[in-house]
Every structure is written in C-alpha cells, then in structure tokens.
C-alpha cells in the first residue's frame, strides 16, 4: 500500500515537473507577444497596429469581422504577421479602407487618419450678382447692390452708404475692407467689414490702383506714387522704385541704390523707414507679398527668394523654382507654395519637397491640413490624402473661385447660380 502511494507521488511529481517545464516557457513566450501560428504550425512573434486620427469615435472592421466601436487613438496588439484589411467608418463620414502589413515584433503606426465628411458642402447665400467677390480668406463676400457696397460673413451683414457711380469693387490685401471704383477704375470709397465707411476724394490725375489695407490705399500716376490715408492723398517722396507692395501694416519698396545694389525697404503708414536690407543680385526681380509673407522672383535664374523673420532682421531662403502664391498650413510652421502647375511644401528650416503637379489648369490648390490636398477645378473638388494617397472627388457645377481661411479642412467658394452667383462653404473634416 505504501509502495503504491510512493509510486503515485513520484508520477505526480514528474507530471508537475513536466507541466512546469512545458507551460512555463509557453507562458513567458505568451507574455512576450508570441502566439501559435497554424499556417504554418509554429510559434510566432506577433505585431501590432496603432491608429491615430479624426474623428475620435469610429467603427473599426478588421478582415471582414463585425465592426466594433472604438475611440482613436487605438492599438490592436498580438496580431499574427500578415496582411490585414481595415475599414474605419463613422456616422456622416466616408469609409476609410486600408490594407496594413503586420511584421513580427513590429508596430504599424497609422497616423494622420482623417475621415472625410460624406456631405461636406453647404450653401451660405444664393442670388448674388455677378460682381460678388470673396475676401482673401473666403470668410466674407462683397457685392454691389443699388450703388451700395454689401459685405457679409456667415453671421453678419453690413451695407455702405450710397456711392454715386460705383461700378466695381476690390478687396483690400488684408481682407478687412472693400474698395469701390467708378467705371474708369478710379477709387471712390472704402468700406470695412466692421461697417466703417470713407469716401475717397477724386483727383485730376488718373490713378492706377496698386493695393490697400484697412488703413491706407496705394496708387500710381505715371512715375509718382501716392498714398491715401486720413482722408487725403499724399505723394510718396521715393525714387528709383522697381516695385512697391502693401502688406497688412507696411509699404514695401524694391529698388536699386547708388551702388547698383538691390534693396528692400519697409515704410510705416507715416512714411518712416522701418528697415532696409540688401538682396542677392537679381535681374528682372519681381516683388510679391501674400498672407504676411514676402518673397522675390528672380526671373533670370528661375528662382524664388523667401524672406523669413529672424530676431530683429530677415534671413533669405533660396529655392530653385518659381512660386507665385503662398499659403500657411494650419497648426504648423510649414508653408504651401505653388504656381500655375506645381506645388511644394516648405518647412520652417527651408527644406522643400514637391507636393503635386497638374497638367490641366485649376482654379486653386489648397492644403487643408492633416496631409489633405484639395485641387479645385471648374466642376469638381479633388481631395487627396498625401500620406496614404487616398482620393475623393466631389462634383460642384460651375465652381468659379475659392479661398482658404487657414482653418483645418475648410474653404469657401463661389459658383454660378443661373445668371447669378452662390456663396458656399466646403467643410471636409
């Protein structure tokens, strides 16, 4: 009887030892992310998938399984190596299908996932006359009605006094005011978005309008330049001007000094010189200013010279291509620049990369943030995610003009509305 019990005890002890030496390593392997792979039959190191993006609450479907609700960011761990088909969806958004290859011991991070709204376009106003014009940000629109300047945002509308002979309008560079002109393109009045109205006295000489901001106008007559502020026109005491531009706060003057050196000068509204810098040698230089950025086009060498604020001065970044427009990118210090058929991305250090090229003329490209590029044509908006190369197309009949308010995923545009115009908003995310 005693021998039998001892025998059983030995068997039991050996069994425990056997189980321990089998189970313990498996437990350690399991805790370290190893799993049994049936195809082929072997123990395999797993990987993971991490998803980051917007909106936060989404449905996620993996390999045609039933979709489950999750909040982003979300990680799926202990996945066997292989390809996984993932579909991300949310109410009132288009589906985002993507295929991910999971590798043993590695994490696949999918960042900047941005679902696109399935119905992104809304109409703000209809029945606008043909003279309606978007502000530089698109957040305001102006038009002429009964010889009055009308300005409207989504929430506010103002009307100027009656201006006799009012024939056309132009937005000021900073988007804070509208300038009204007569039939011979002479400025008649200025009307701000805050409903401040000012008549502009007529001159005997014929002015060529050069630009404006909320505080002053700039015009040219033959070789003379004039500034209008505080209700009077003043002759600018400047000579040898190659080009002149208005920014939100200053007057920029490109000229050649006595040593045949190209220089760029900043003048405040009282015509006091604020700053003057020397420029690299150019031939046929062209001065541009947009969205509070300043750059020079050197037509002889097909290059662009971007001025970047640095402490109390500017540094000059040189790029071996021409760009005529510049756009800020929401929530970054990067810049989006483009010309008639190409666009580039420039980071804060001056590094650049090509973003897109197009063969047919487009109304405007806009980088909406979150790696999303909108190419706006006459009858459609093509959206493309630059990171995942996903494309979405939205048809818009007779789309005419578009402007970007530097808000993630939003821009404004006008389109034909029969013989009139409509003002619309595109909000993709």
Mean pLDDT of the chain: 90
pLDDT band at 139 (very low <50, low <70, confident <90, very high): very high
Per-residue confidence (pLDDT) for residue 1, from 0 to 100 = 45
Tokens of 307: 């001025």
Q: Tell me if 197 sits within 8 A of 239, measured CB to CB.
A: no
Q: Distance between alpha carbon 155 and the CA centroid of its chain, in Å?
A: 23
Given a cut of 90, whether residue 333 has pLDDT beyond it is yes
Tokens of 19: 């189980």
The pLDDT of 249-276, averaged and rounded, is 87
Per-residue confidence (pLDDT) for residue 2, from 0 to 100 = 46
pLDDT band at 72 (very low <50, low <70, confident <90, very high): very high
The pLDDT of 108-136, averaged and rounded, is 96
Given a cut of 80, whether residue 38 has pLDDT beyond it is no
- Please write the tens of the pLDDT for every residue from 198-236: 999 998 889 999 999 999 999 999 989 999 999 999 999
Which helix (H) or strand (E) segment holds residue 428: the answer is: none
Q: Distance between alpha carbon 351 and the CA centroid of its chain, in Å?
A: 18
336 burial level (CB within 10 Å; 0-12, 13-18, 19+):
buried
Cα dihedral 329→90→402→353 (10° resolution): 40
The Cα 288–Cα 274 span in angstroms is: 19
- Please write the tens of the pLDDT for every residue from 146-174: 999 999 999 999 999 999 999 999 999 99
Sequence spans of domains, the chain: 2-32, 43-114
The pLDDT of 40-44, averaged and rounded, is 66
Q: For residue 216, what is the DSSP state?
A: -
Per-residue confidence (pLDDT) for residue 261, from 0 to 100 = 79
Backbone angles phi, psi at 247, to 5 degrees: -105, -170
Given a cut of 80, whether residue 28 has pLDDT beyond it is no
Residue 333: which region, alpha, beta or left (left: phi > 0; alpha: psi -120 to 50)?
alpha
| pTM for this entry | 0.86
Choose the weakest-confidence range: 18-22, 131-135, 359-363.
18-22
Given a cut of 80, whether residue 36 has pLDDT beyond it is no
Nearest partner of 82 among 102, 98, 62, 109, judged by Cα: 102
- Please write the tens of the pLDDT for every residue from 284-325: 889 999 999 999 999 888 999 999 998 888 999 999 999 999
- Please write the tens of the pLDDT for every residue from 389-420: 999 999 999 999 999 999 999 999 999 989 99
Given a cut of 90, whether residue 50 has pLDDT beyond it is yes
How many CB atoms sit inside 10 A of residue 337's CB?
25
pLDDT band at 130 (very low <50, low <70, confident <90, very high): very high
In percent, the amount of the chain with pLDDT more than 70 equals: 90
Tokens of 230: 């505080």
Which CATH architecture best describes the domain 43-114? Answer: Sandwich (2.60)
Given a cut of 50, whether residue 260 has pLDDT beyond it is yes
């Amino acid at each position: 009887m005693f021998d039998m019990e001892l025998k059983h005890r030995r068997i039991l002890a050996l069994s425990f030892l056997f189980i321990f030496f089998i189970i313990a390593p498996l437990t350690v392997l399991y805790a370290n992310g190893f799993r049994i792979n049936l195809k082929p039959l072997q123990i395999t190191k797993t990987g993971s998938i991490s998803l980051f993006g917007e909106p936060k609450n989404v449905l996620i479907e993996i390999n045609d399984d039933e979709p489950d609700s999750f909040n982003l960011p979300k990680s799926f761990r202990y996945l066997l190596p292989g390809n996984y088909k993932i579909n991300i969806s949310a109410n009132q958004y288009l589906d985002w299908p993507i295929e991910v290859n999971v590798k043993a011991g590695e994490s696949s991070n999918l960042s900047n996932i941005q679902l696109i709204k399935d119905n992104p376009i809304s109409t703000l106003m209809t029945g606008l006359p043909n003279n309606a014009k978007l502000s530089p940000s698109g957040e305001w629109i102006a038009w002429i009605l009964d010889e009055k300047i009308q300005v409207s945002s989504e929430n506010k509308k103002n009307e100027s006094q009656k201006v006799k002979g009012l024939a056309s309008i132009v937005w000021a560079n900073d988007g804070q005011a509208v300038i009204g002109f007569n039939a011979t393109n002479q400025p008649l009045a200025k009307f701000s978005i805050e409903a401040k109205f000012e008549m502009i006295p007529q001159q005997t000489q014929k002015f060529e309008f050069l630009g404006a901001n909320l505080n002053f106008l700039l015009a040219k007559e033959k070789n003379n330049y004039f500034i209008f502020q505080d209700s009077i026109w003043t002759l600018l005491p400047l000579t040898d001007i190659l080009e002149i531009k208005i920014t939100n706060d200053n007057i920029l003057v490109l000229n050649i000094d006595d040593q045949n050196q190209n220089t760029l000068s900043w003048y405040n509204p009282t015509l006091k010189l604020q700053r003057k810098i020397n420029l690299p040698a150019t031939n046929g230089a062209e001065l541009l200013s947009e969205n509070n950025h300043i750059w020079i086009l050197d037509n002889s060498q097909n290059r662009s010279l971007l001025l970047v604020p640095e402490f109390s001065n500017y540094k000059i970044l040189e790029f071996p291509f021409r760009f005529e427009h510049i756009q800020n990118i929401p929530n970054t210090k990067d810049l989006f620049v483009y010309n008639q058929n190409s666009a580039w991305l420039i980071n804060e250090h001056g590094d650049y990369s090509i973003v897109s090229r197009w063969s047919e003329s487009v109304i405007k490209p806009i980088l909406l943030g979150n790696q999303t590029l909108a190419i706006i044509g006459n009858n459609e908006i093509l959206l493309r995610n630059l990171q995942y190369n996903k494309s979405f197309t939205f048809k818009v009949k007779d789309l005419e003009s578009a402007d970007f308010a530097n808000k993630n995923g939003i821009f404004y545009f006008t389109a034909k509305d029969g013989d009139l115009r409509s003002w619309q908003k595109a909000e993709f995310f």
